[in-house]
Amino acid sequence: MKELVKVKNLKSYFFIDNAVIKAVDNVDLVIHGGEIVGIVGESGAGKSVMALSIIKLLRPPGKFLSGQIWLEDENITELNMKDMRRIRGKRISMIFQDPMTCLNPRLTIGEQIAEPVLLHRLNTAKNNFFHKLLNRRIRKNLAKKIAIENMQKVGIPDAETRYNSYPHEFSGGMRQRVMIAMALAAQPNLIIADEPTTALDVTIQAQILQLLCDLSHEMGMSVLIITHDMSVISEICERVYVMYAGKVHEEATVEELFENPLHPYTRALLNCIPRVDVEDQNMQPIQGEMPDLISPPAGCSFAPRCQHGTELCAIREPELREVSKNHWVRCLFVN
Ligand SMILES: Nc1ncnc2c1ncn2[C@@H]1O[C@H](COP(=O)(O)OP(=O)(O)OP(=O)(O)O)[C@@H](O)[C@H]1O
Ligand SMILES: [Mg+2]
């Protein structure tokens, strides 16, 4: 598979009150064309900062410090805001956890889905003879038609009527579908979904994840799923990055990670998943808390919580190493 997005040595820090918070510290990440990749980790691990850095939506006091971001053969690291706007929405779309904060309560659902279609797909500013011929009314009608098609694609029933509904008339799950329909407007190569389902009940969560999965297969679109929930990873992802304290601690295909989890942190996360096939569940929440990212421990950042932590772990920081083909781990004691 061809690489669609490639991130090298990304560092994004927060600068507050003379302190530096190393939210994302030297992270590499690859997303191939059509691939569904997950980033998993506890709250504060740096997952959202990672996603916002890729699409340049990280706001002060957060700052992209260094690293490279490639979109296919283009280095987009240094793009200005104007050029980046052309990439966001058009080639990379992002959907967030709470649709209500992204939807305009005064505009109909349909208008909001049609708007990015007009902007990214039917934009006359494009140097395209066909587009220039289209007058405004025709473009608006076409945008409406595409918007309704996208509403159907994401499973909003009765799309033509519901085009005229307002956000408050939709349930949480339906609003999340609206967000996905908006994200699809320009037929992007990648959708980044940051905890798209945590606000929803379990059945609706499963439906939304399935929808993203189906759309990815149908349209050959890549998806980056950000979650703290290993069961979400197991349901739809193909490859996964386990993030802890701003760093990747393990990376593997989902099959490999679930069959052969190597990092003690990954194992601890897997221990938090309830299993349907085991009666006597020995589920354990991970003891302790993630270290302060202002002055993280000198050695392995998971050492203070690690059951296998030794004196060496407290002083020497492990590298991320490839221990078997395409399986990477950051732990001194994994061979
Ligand atoms: N606005 C902010 N100001 C200061 N520090 C911040 C801010 N936002 C994030 N951080 C720091 O960056 C770290 C990573 O935050 P991030 O939002 O990426 O975590 P996350 O993995 O997405 O967590 P969650 O699962 O809760 O969404 C946090 O631990 C925090 O220290
Ligand atoms: Mg987050």
What residues contact 95, with CB distance under 8 A and at least 6 apart?
Answer: 176, 179, 180, 182, 183, 191, 192, 193, 194, 196
Q: Cβ(44) to ligand 1 under 6 A? A: yes
Residue nearest to ligand 1 atom 27, measured at CA:
43
- What type of residue sits at position 160? E
Q: State residue 37's pLDDT score.
A: 98
Residue nearest to ligand 1 atom 25, measured at CA:
43
Distance 159 CA to ligand 2 centre (A): 31
Q: State residue 185's pLDDT score.
A: 85
Q: Cβ(283) to ligand 1 under 6 A? A: no
Taking the CA atoms of the chain, what radius of gyration do you get in angstroms? 21
- What does the domain layout of the chain look like in residue ranges? 1-91+190-283, 103-185
Residue nearest to ligand 1 atom 24, measured at CA:
43
Distance 194 CA to ligand 2 centre (A): 7
Q: Cβ(228) to ligand 1 under 6 A? A: yes
**Residues having C-beta closer than 5 Å to ion ligand 2:** 48
Question: Which ligand number lies closest to the CA of residue 244?
Answer: 1
Just give the CATH number of 1-91+190-283.
3.40.50.300
Q: State residue 96's pLDDT score.
A: 86
Distance 20 CA to ligand 2 centre (A): 19
Q: Cβ(198) to ligand 1 under 6 A? A: no
Q: Report the relative pairing of strands 62-71 and 3-16 from DSSP bridges.
A: antiparallel
Q: SS3 of 22, please?
A: strand
Q: How many CB atoms lie within 10 A of CB 133?
A: 9
Distance 47 CA to ligand 1 centre (A): 8
Angle separating helix axes 109-116 and 136-153, nearest 10 degrees: 110
Q: Cβ(185) to ligand 1 under 6 A? A: no
Question: Which ligand number lies closest to the CA of residue 289?
Answer: 1
CA dist 305 to 30, 118, 302, 327, Å?
Answer: 29, 51, 6, 23
Low-confidence ranges of the chain (pLDDT < 70): 124-134, 275-284
For 314, half-sphere exposure in the C-beta direction (CA atoms, 13 angstrom radius) is 7
Distance 60 CA to ligand 1 centre (A): 12
Distance 152 CA to ligand 2 centre (A): 29
Distance 293 CA to ligand 1 centre (A): 10
Angle separating helix axes 136-153 and 172-183, nearest 10 degrees: 130
Q: State residue 130's pLDDT score.
A: 64
Q: Distance between CA 97 and CA 279 in Å, rounded? A: 33
Q: Give the atom of ligand 1 at the shortest distance from the alpha carbon of 45.
A: 21
Q: State residue 132's pLDDT score.
A: 64
Hey, what are 207's tokens? 């439906």
Q: pTM of the prediction?
A: 0.93
Q: State residue 107's pLDDT score.
A: 96
Q: State residue 278's pLDDT score.
A: 59
Q: Distance between CA 296 and CA 298 in Å, rounded? A: 6
